[in-house]
Amino acid sequence: MSGRVKRKAALAAGEARAAAVVSDAGLCALCGRMLGRRVEWHHVVPKSEGGRETVPVHPICHRTIHALVSNADLARHFADLETLRAREDMARYLRWIANKPPDFHAPTRKMQG
């Protein structure tokens, strides 16, 4: 089997696994709301920092994580989602998003630091 075919097979297997995880969990790993039609996979420890574990999140939740926290800080201080949720700015976001529908979309602005 050539390298290209192996990569395609691995991608297909990964997509099938990802779909199974979403259907089993059905909840965003950050906010805990039901997932909508679009699901993104967040590296708990950023891939650029050596992370491998991914969790399903809403696109708006994913953008918010990266707008509020740098990859280096995610790896060093917020590798645990509970710690991330406890940040004041993240807790404020989670209170705001709590009653929104699963496919809710709004612009995400990078916080001024």
Domains of the chain: 3-97 (1.10.30)
Of residues 109, 106, 107, 96, the one with CA closest to residue 67: 109
Of residues 45, 40, 16, the one with CA closest to residue 29: 40
- End-to-end CA gap in the chain: 50
Determine the 3-state secondary structure of 78 from DSSP.
coil
Tokens representing residue 73 in the block: 């800080």
Characterise 72 by phi-psi region: left (phi > 0), alpha (psi -120 to 50), beta (else).
Answer: alpha
pTM of the model: 0.75
Q: Print pLDDT tens along the chain (113 aa).
A: 555 544 444 444 444 444 444 445 699 999 999 999 999 999 999 999 999 999 999 999 999 999 999 999 999 999 999 999 999 999 999 999 999 999 999 887 776 55
